[in-house]
Amino acid sequence: MISPIEVKKHEFAKAMRGYDTVEVRAFLETVAAEIERMGETVRTQSGELERIRAELGAYQRMEANMREAIVNAQDALRDAREGARKEGELIRRDAELDAERIILEAKRQGENIRKELDALNWKKDALTIKLRKFLETELDLFKLLEDSEQAEFRAGGRQGEER
């Protein structure tokens, strides 16, 4: 690429009937100024391009970080769901075990109550038998006493008749 200074310093050979040197010089000055202006524009745009590239890089890093954060959030959500499912399963199993334990305890208590009831019924039956035998014995004794009194009465009445 030709620089503006090279354009300004360029010398043309003198020839007869050539171009007007002042006009050529003025044109070269104009061309050099335009090249300089274009160079400045290119430098400015290059700086802007670098700034934009840097911003683009920052945005790309932010995008990558956001994607990673989204993936991490999805993983965390999946893990949380799995943890909640496992915890729910454990709670359900514990509840089932508690229910089974309560049922077994109730059955054991029911069996104990049934045994106590059987023992009480046996004692009641034994007491009823003893009471019946006692009453029968007392009735028999009462009959004996009654028979004995009647026999004495009859014997005493006969003795009175004999007197």
Q: Does the reported pTM lie above 0.75?
A: no
Which amino acid belongs to residue 122? W
* CA pair distance 84, 136, nearest whole angstrom: 76
Angle at 11 between CA 8 and CA 14, to 5 degrees: 145
Residue boundaries of the structural domains of the chain: 4-162
**What mean pLDDT is predicted for residues 22-49?**
90
* Percent of the chain whose pLDDT exceeds 70: 95
* CA pair distance 116, 126, nearest whole angstrom: 15
Termini Cα distance of the chain: 184
Contacts of 7 (CB under 8 A, 6+ apart): 28, 31, 32, 35
Per-residue pLDDT tens over the stretch 103-137: 999 999 999 999 999 999 999 999 999 999 999 99
**Do the beta carbons of residue 35 and residue 3 sit within 8 Å?**
yes
**Do the beta carbons of residue 8 and residue 32 sit within 8 Å?**
yes
Tokens 């014997």 — which residue? Answer: 155
* CA pair distance 145, 147, nearest whole angstrom: 5
* Mean of the per-residue pLDDT values of the chain: 90
CA–chain centroid gap for 93, Å, is: 15
